[in-house]
A and B are shown apart, each in its own frame.
Chain A
């Protein structure tokens, strides 16, 4: 594959394409196969499963942000009627090396969390589990347990952790540094001089272990018509999945059966095996429905381990339901980032130089990639001519972070967009025009040069078209021209660019045409709650030219053989699995033709596949799919799964073997070429109305205009664009953590205090649209859209607020009445952008 970008024609002439053009299934709305079960309550989530003799367990959470468990006395608890047992940290399998899909040995991360901790690193970390005949008995037993804990030094604020003499979150240090493949901790304390900028309201800067740069930064600033040096902070935000990570486990004939909700069915199996130190083939995993994950349930969670171990220990099925408070602590969160960003602009608004310094909050376990992604997305989305990125990832005694929709990308956009807005005002340039001049296009490059000196680039980008079309649909020019203030109300409009990764490659498709003539598509994708896990199979059905009513999807249970599939994360599903679907569709057509030729004579090329039949071109011999499947079973070998496509993953091979003899069994691997990295893009527009006497504001309109390649399922895409925009909007309007730093303890662990948005917090009629211009680097042309809207959702709101109120109101999100009123009173931003968790 060439490393240098392939020259492409400028995409200015490309126009939006009506959805579904040229396709029978793709681009057309339909009811997904699981929909009726979901809306009628028939769908079974983890909590809905029961097993005979099932016990319930509950977790004991650490009340301290950092402590050592010195003594546990559960004698009284264990004597209580109905109490069956407890699980302690010493009974949990420790860190272990593992071999990944490529056969590479991955060394155990000794800093990663285990299911139960004897040295809890954050308030709310599970330290014990108790199983009993019911939850009330388990809870009563927990209250009878005596736990002696030794408090240890802690720090919940990343900036404070960098101050001279401050406490570290861990004994070994406070800042994560990468040495080769390993993340290590070291102590980093900035000097008093480093903190001098704090007095001016600027983020202090000091030693930063992570850094890269490209271009001539000094020249960029020197040649700039305007240079802005801005400090901005984003908040830590919990995933708040509506379905907590409840799990039920039992053992049968040496196999572990686990029921929970995850973002991947197939890929959760090796994760469980790794955590449990057991062979993959002894894990049966059931995850048919999942009530949201947003990156926090990619391959399940460590909470799977506790019921699995208790079930083994007590020889009974164990259900561990996770309460909303438990979920707040163990349910993962997006790391907040404190940023100082200096940006130089030319007269026309083009970014000549961008110098970004980040302090990322890693929370209690491990480093995270948000700071890194923040730099990468900034370089892609705004195409600065020169850029430097520096980052410090600080360990704190706060709940663990993980990827949350658009990890790092959301923060990048929230941090940079207000600077663009301010620059546009100062330079007298229209906001859309300033973004257009900086927008990526075509095979846009991003990030720093690699070891070979080349920069990475994307597969395609038509963001300028999305920006133009969106501005038209939103009536941008007319809105800008309207009066801004009337009475106590001020209104503002905001536009923001947005993007994130939109696909991966190399997965397998697996189709069985049954002797009854049904097209049975097996899928190891997790049912995250979006419809993409069904939608992607329209690619195979389209190629097979079968009515969708003739297609069954098999998913959610590894006892039903599943192929090697991507997880529903990283916005990769639509891209990755339409490719796999396309590949297996073509393979299936070929096998059908071969079966027909072997049965009725002639060559495979003499046959066509359409409408549940394989028939000789121009008339004559024909076979129904049912007949073809029956013939395939007679033929055996590659046709009924006794032999397998050698290209597919080992996991798929096992599944094909398990399906052998059940019909025409076809598997295929996505080996399509793919020049560049797949990203999806959006232009997001919002309008707000603010009451300057109360600081209360309403979002009065919103539009997300997407460049996501071919639209597979319009209704589902609309749900993704607006749903994930709402997740971004949540960051702007109020969702947050509140932690008392003196005690290191969360005080806002309930919905009404940490405030995820309600449906009434967004406009009644949010709007979306998409270009539907296919990505040239993938056969169906489709990319993912789970994450790309999030940053634009947030920043379009903050940009609209700044348009309404000016640039001296906020230096952090969320922005609420308190922010607005105090700053309006003072005429300058009044909320300290560095203090964490207020």
Chain B
């Protein structure tokens, strides 16, 4: 069969107006259905004719999945279909959870953020160029990893967690949500379940064909951020090649509660280092009770990269991750001319 790209194949477009209708459609079509949020990931797959769903369930008309609401515990619930632009400009989130505002404002470009949703951003697929190019790799159901070879082009791939696949999770919002101890609300025909943000993501050891736990019929409906980390000291940084419209070479998100200079509580995560966002529990444990200063940051950075395995072209990710963790905890020595 000859291959052609950049022309979307035909499919049935289903546009439910409610979450329950969406649920029913997903139940009815199971594996044949493709769930589309903002379409920023879906359209690439579809236009390249690599993913060939029979039906596409477009959630853009499901208003109940949109919006930002206060929760009874003082936190916020964000509908999965809320756009990144809305999150970035929401006053409550900017005031109490600026870690997330900052993270989403680093996603792609303004036009994409106006269309992209938070549900889509955390659920997006890997951007390994072999996988996205339709190569028959493990993640695509084959039996080879083309990136992890002596000459494989793997500059943007994983330094942790590679297991037959070295693609990274590319989300910018995911590490921020992990740091904020967010809960992801998943609905299916059996009911609703809530999982910790970090448990939403899966690596190749658990399921090499997916980046998250959603199964056919599952719908991510909302993300809840507890009040726990409201107003904490936050740090987000994303390093990318271009200043706009680029996935992370790596990012870091950190929430700290301090007593004076002393770290009382901390959650820290990085992404684009592994097939899942990495919550750095060893770092968290090591720095609690220590001052949030450069020395602690330096030690934390060095601890964070222990066990990293670079590929041919991505060794830079080790000092990058080390320094991002260092900065997240110890701060950045800004230039006096800034």
- Chain A residues within 8 Å of B, Cβ to Cβ: 58, 60-61, 63, 128, 135-136, 138-140, 142-147, 323-326, 482-483, 486-489, 491, 689, 693-696, 698, 733-734, 738-743, 745, 747-749, 751-753, 755, 757-758, 760-761, 816-819, 821-822, 824-825, 830, 837-838
Complex-state Cα separation, A740 to B312, whole angstroms: 13
Within 181-198 of B, Cβ neighbours of A (below 8 Å) are at: none
B315: nearest chain-A partner, CB-CB: A822
B1: nearest chain-A partner, CB-CB: A143
A127: nearest chain-B partner, CB-CB: B2
Does any Cβ of A come within 8 Å of B246's Cβ? yes
A754: nearest chain-B partner, CB-CB: B129
Given A142-B2, A752-B247, residue A818 in contact with residue B314 (CB < 8 A): yes
Within 309-338 of B, Cβ neighbours of A (below 8 Å) are at: 313-316, 319-320, 323-324, 326-327, 332-338
**CB distance B1 to A144 under 8 Å?**
yes
Given A695-B316, A741-B151, A818-B155, residue A757 in contact with residue B337 (CB < 8 A): no
Complex-state Cα separation, A741 to B243, whole angstroms: 29
**CB distance B243 to A816 under 8 Å?**
no
Within 8 Å by CB of B244, from A324, A695, A758, lies: A758
Q: How far, in Å, is A724 (CB) from chain B's closest CB?
A: 19
Chain B hits for A747, CB < 8 A:
129-130, 133, 153
- Chain B residues within 8 Å of A, Cβ to Cβ: 1-10, 49, 109, 127, 129-130, 133, 146, 149, 151-153, 155, 237, 239, 241-247, 249, 313-316, 319-320, 323-324, 326-327, 332-338
Additional 15 contacts, C-beta under 8 A, given A487-B333, A489-B338: A58-B4, A61-B4, A142-B4, A144-B1, A487-B334, A489-B334, A694-B320, A694-B324, A695-B316, A740-B146, A740-B152, A747-B130, A753-B129, A817-B239, A819-B316
Within 8 Å by CB of B5, from A323, A489, A818, lies: A323
Given A747-B153, A755-B246, residue A817 in contact with residue B316 (CB < 8 A): yes
**CB distance B245 to A758 under 8 Å?**
yes
**CB distance A58 to B7 under 8 Å?**
yes
**CB distance A694 to B241 under 8 Å?**
no
Complex-state Cα separation, A60 to B1, whole angstroms: 11
Q: How far, in Å, is B271 (CB) from chain A's closest CB?
A: 15
Q: Which 10 A-B pairs have the closest CB atoms?
A: A323-B6, A487-B333, A489-B335, A486-B335, A693-B323, A818-B316, A747-B129, A139-B7, A821-B316, A760-B243
Consensus secondary structure, chain A interface:
mixed
Given A822-B315, A822-B316, residue A488 in contact with residue B6 (CB < 8 A): no
Chain A hits for B146, CB < 8 A:
740, 743
Q: How far, in Å, is B304 (CB) from chain A's closest CB?
A: 14
Complex-state Cα separation, A508 to B6, whole angstroms: 43
**CB distance B327 to A143 under 8 Å?**
no
Complex-state Cα separation, A745 to B151, whole angstroms: 12
**CB distance A488 to B333 under 8 Å?**
yes
**CB distance B332 to A488 under 8 Å?**
yes
Chain B hits for A63, CB < 8 A:
3
B129: nearest chain-A partner, CB-CB: A747
Chain A hits for B3, CB < 8 A:
61, 63, 142-143
**CB distance A323 to B316 under 8 Å?**
no
Among B4, B239, B323, B333, the most chain A Cβ lie within 10 Å of the Cβ of B4
**CB distance A740 to B332 under 8 Å?**
no
Given A752-B247, A838-B153, residue A734 in contact with residue B326 (CB < 8 A): no
Q: How far, in Å, is B336 (CB) from chain A's closest CB?
A: 5
**CB distance B151 to A825 under 8 Å?**
no
B47: nearest chain-A partner, CB-CB: A323
Complex-state Cα separation, A145 to B242, whole angstroms: 40
Chain B hits for A694, CB < 8 A:
237, 239, 320, 323-324
Complex-state Cα separation, A323 to B7, whole angstroms: 9
Q: How far, in Å, is A179 (CB) from chain B's closest CB?
A: 35
B155: nearest chain-A partner, CB-CB: A818
B48: nearest chain-A partner, CB-CB: A325
Q: How far, in Å, is B126 (CB) from chain A's closest CB?
A: 13
**CB distance B333 to A740 under 8 Å?**
no
**CB distance A60 to B129 under 8 Å?**
no
**CB distance A145 to B2 under 8 Å?**
yes
Can you report 14 A-B residue pairs in the complex whose CB atoms are below 8 A from each other? A136-B10, A139-B7, A142-B2, A487-B332, A487-B338, A694-B323, A740-B151, A740-B153, A752-B247, A755-B242, A761-B243, A817-B320, A822-B316, A830-B315
**CB distance B249 to A817 under 8 Å?**
yes
Complex-state Cα separation, A487 to B127, whole angstroms: 34
**CB distance A825 to B319 under 8 Å?**
yes
Among B5, B153, B316, B323, the most chain A Cβ lie within 10 Å of the Cβ of B316
Q: How far, in Å, is B319 (CB) from chain A's closest CB?
A: 5
Complex-state Cα separation, A824 to B322, whole angstroms: 14
**CB distance B7 to A135 under 8 Å?**
yes
Chain A hits for B326, CB < 8 A:
693
Complex-state Cα separation, A271 to B333, whole angstroms: 60
**CB distance B6 to A324 under 8 Å?**
yes
Chain A hits for B242, CB < 8 A:
734, 755, 757-758, 760-761
B131: nearest chain-A partner, CB-CB: A747
**CB distance A693 to B334 under 8 Å?**
no
Complex-state Cα separation, A390 to B244, whole angstroms: 40
Given A755-B242, A760-B244, A817-B241, residue A738 in contact with residue B129 (CB < 8 A): yes
Chain A hits for B4, CB < 8 A:
58, 60-61, 139, 142-143
Among A143, A487, A741, A821, the most chain B Cβ lie within 10 Å of the Cβ of A821
Among A489, A693, A749, the most chain B Cβ lie within 10 Å of the Cβ of A693
**CB distance B327 to A693 under 8 Å?**
yes
Complex-state Cα separation, A782 to B44, whole angstroms: 47
Chain B hits for A734, CB < 8 A:
241-242
Given A694-B324, A753-B129, A821-B319, residue A742 in contact with residue B149 (CB < 8 A): yes
Chain B hits for A147, CB < 8 A:
2
Complex-state Cα separation, A761 to B241, whole angstroms: 9
A838: nearest chain-B partner, CB-CB: B313
Within 8 Å by CB of B239, from A128, A140, A695, lies: A695
B334: nearest chain-A partner, CB-CB: A487
A698: nearest chain-B partner, CB-CB: B243
**CB distance A143 to B336 under 8 Å?**
no
Complex-state Cα separation, A825 to B313, whole angstroms: 15
Complex-state Cα separation, A506 to B318, whole angstroms: 60
Given A146-B1, A734-B241, A738-B129, residue A838 in contact with residue B333 (CB < 8 A): no
Complex-state Cα separation, A821 to B152, whole angstroms: 21
Chain B hits for A758, CB < 8 A:
109, 242-245
Chain A hits for B9, CB < 8 A:
136, 139-140
**CB distance B336 to A486 under 8 Å?**
yes
Chain B hits for A818, CB < 8 A:
155, 249, 313-314, 316
Chain A hits for B334, CB < 8 A:
487-489
Chain B hits for A824, CB < 8 A:
319
Chain A hits for B7, CB < 8 A:
58, 135-136, 138-139, 323
Q: How far, in Å, is A88 (CB) from chain B's closest CB?
A: 13
Chain A hits for B8, CB < 8 A:
136
Complex-state Cα separation, A819 to B249, whole angstroms: 13
Complex-state Cα separation, A665 to B149, whole angstroms: 68
A753: nearest chain-B partner, CB-CB: B129
Among B9, B129, B247, B314, the most chain A Cβ lie within 10 Å of the Cβ of B129
Chain A hits for B129, CB < 8 A:
738, 747-748, 753
**CB distance A325 to B319 under 8 Å?**
no
Chain A hits for B237, CB < 8 A:
694
